[in-house]
Amino acid sequence: MLAAAMLAAGVWVVAAFADGPSMDGIPPVPAPGMVTMVDLGAHKCIPCKMMAPIIEDLQKTYSGRASVIFIDVWEYREQAQRFGVRGIPTQIFYDASGKEVGRHVGFLDKQSIVETFEKLGVPK
Sorted by where each begins, the domain ranges of the chain are 2-14+28-119
Closest CA to 70 of 102, 25, 122, 23: 25
Q: Which residues of 81-107 are buried (b: 16+ CB within 10 A; e: fewer)?
A: eebebeebbbbbbbbbeeeeeeebeee
Residue 20 pLDDT > 60, yes or no? Answer: no
Contact (CB, 8 A) for 52 and 14: no
Measured CA to CA, the distance from residue 88 to residue 62 in angstroms comes to 23
Active-site annotation holder among 37, 38, 48, 88: 48
Section 36-54 average pLDDT: 97
Section 31-56 average pLDDT: 97
What pTM was estimated for this model as a whole?
0.81
Q: What per-residue confidence (pLDDT) applies to 116?
A: 97
45 is catalytic: yes
- Specify whether domain 2-14+28-119 bears CATH 3.30.420.10: no
48 is catalytic: yes
Active-site annotation holder among 3, 6, 7, 45: 45
Res. 25 pLDDT band, cuts 50 70 90: confident
Q: Which of 24-38, 66-80, 93-107 has the lowest mean pLDDT?
A: 24-38
Res. 16 pLDDT band, cuts 50 70 90: very low
Side chain identity at 73, as an amino acid letter?
V
